[in-house]
Amino acid sequence: MVGGKTAGERIFNLTTVAIMIILMVVTLYPFWFSLISSLNSGADLARGPVFLMPREFTFGSWTAVLSDPGIMKALWITASRTLIVTAVSIFYTAMFAYAFSRSYLRGKKFYVVIGFISMYFSGGIIPSFMLMNWLGLYDHYLVYILPALFGGFWNVIIFNANYKALPEALFESAKMDGASEFRIFLQIVIPLSKPVLAALGVFTAVGVWNDYGTTLYFTQSNDLQTLQYMILRLIQSNRAVENMMSMQGTNLAVSSLLNGTQGQGPVTAQTIELAAMVIASIPMIIMYPFAQKFFVKGVLVGSVKG
Partner 1 sequence: MSSRKQKGFRLGYDFWTQFELKLMLVPAVLLIFVFDFSPLFGLLIAFKNFEPIMGIKGIFTSEWNHFQHFILVFQNFQFWPMVRNTLGINLLSALIGIPVTMLFALLLNEIKHHKFKSLVQTVTYLPHFLSWVIFGGLFITLLNSAGIVNVLLMELHLIDKPIQFLADPKYFWGVAIGTGLLKDIGWGAILYLAAMAGVDQSLYEAAAIDGAGRIKRMWYITIPGILPTLMVLIIFAVSGMLNNNFTQIFVLQNSLNLPTSQVIDTYVYQTGLLQFQFASATAIGLLKTVFALLLLVGANALSRKLTKTGLF
According to CB under 8 A, which residues from 4 to 43 bind partner 1? 8-9, 12-13, 16-17, 19-20, 23-24, 26-28, 30-31, 33-34, 37
- Is 62 a binding residue for partner 1 by CB under 8 A? The answer is no
Cα torsion angle, 244, 246, 251, 256, sign:
positive
Provide, rounded to whole angstroms, the least separation between the CB of residue 14 and partner 1: 12
Quote the CA–CA distance of 160 and 156 in Å, as a whole number: 6
Q: Looking only at residues 134 through 153 of this chain, which bind partner 1 when binding is defined by CB under 8 A? A: 134-135, 146-147, 149-150
Instruction: Say whether residue 51 binds partner 1 (CB under 8 A).
Output: yes
Alpha-carbon separation of residue 89 from 9, 141, 145, 227, 241 (angstroms):
50, 17, 9, 21, 41
What is the C-alpha to C-alpha distance for residues 220 and 60, in angstroms, rounded to an integer?
30
- CB nearer partner 1, residue 2 or residue 191: 2
Beta carbon of residue 158, minimum distance to partner 1 (angstroms, whole number): 14
The CA distances from residue 116 to 121, 125, 162, 171, in Å, are: 8, 19, 19, 27
| Nearest-approach distance from CB 92 to partner 1, in angstroms | 5
- 3 state SS of 182: helix
- Which residue's CB is nearer to partner 1, number 8 or number 263? 8
Whether residue 93 contacts residue 150, with contact meaning beta carbons closer than 8 Å, is answered with yes
Amino acid of residue 51: F
Task: Decide: is 164 part of the binding site for partner 1 (CB under 8 A).
Answer: no
Q: Among 52-60, 62-70, 260-268, 295-303, which window interacts with partner 1 (CB under 8 A)?
A: 295-303
Give every CB contact of residue 266 below 8 A, 6+ residues apart in sequence. Answer: 41, 42, 43, 44, 56, 58, 60, 61
Q: Which is nearer to partner 1, 33 or 141 (CB)?
A: 33
Distance in Å, CB of 170 to partner 1, minimum: 13
Interface with partner 1, residue 157, by CB under 8 A: no
Between 175 and 194, whose beta carbon lies closer to partner 1? 175
Find the binding residues for partner 1 in span 198-257 (CB under 8 A): 206, 209-213, 216-217, 228-229, 231-232, 235-236, 239-240, 242-243, 245-246, 248
Q: Kindly identify the residues of this chain, within the stretch 170-209, that bind partner 1 according to CB under 8 A.
A: 172, 175-176, 180-182, 185, 206, 209
- Residue 190 CB, nearest distance to partner 1 (Å)? 13
- Count of residues that interact with partner 1, criterion CB under 8 A: 106
58 CA to centre of own chain: 29
Region of 2 on the Ramachandran plot (φ > 0 left; ψ -120 to 50 alpha; else beta): beta
Q: Does 104 bind partner 1 (CB under 8 A)?
A: yes
Q: Which of residues 106-125 bind partner 1 (CB under 8 A)?
A: 106, 111, 114-115, 117-118, 120-125
Q: What is the DSSP string of 183-223?
A: HHIIIIIHHHTHHHHHHHHHHHHHHHHH--HHHHHH--SGG
Smallest separation, CB 275 to partner 1 (Å): 12
For CA atoms 189, 82, 296, 116, the dihedral sign is positive
Give, in order, the Cα–Cα distances in Å from 239 to each of 99, 192, 233, 269: 51, 50, 10, 10
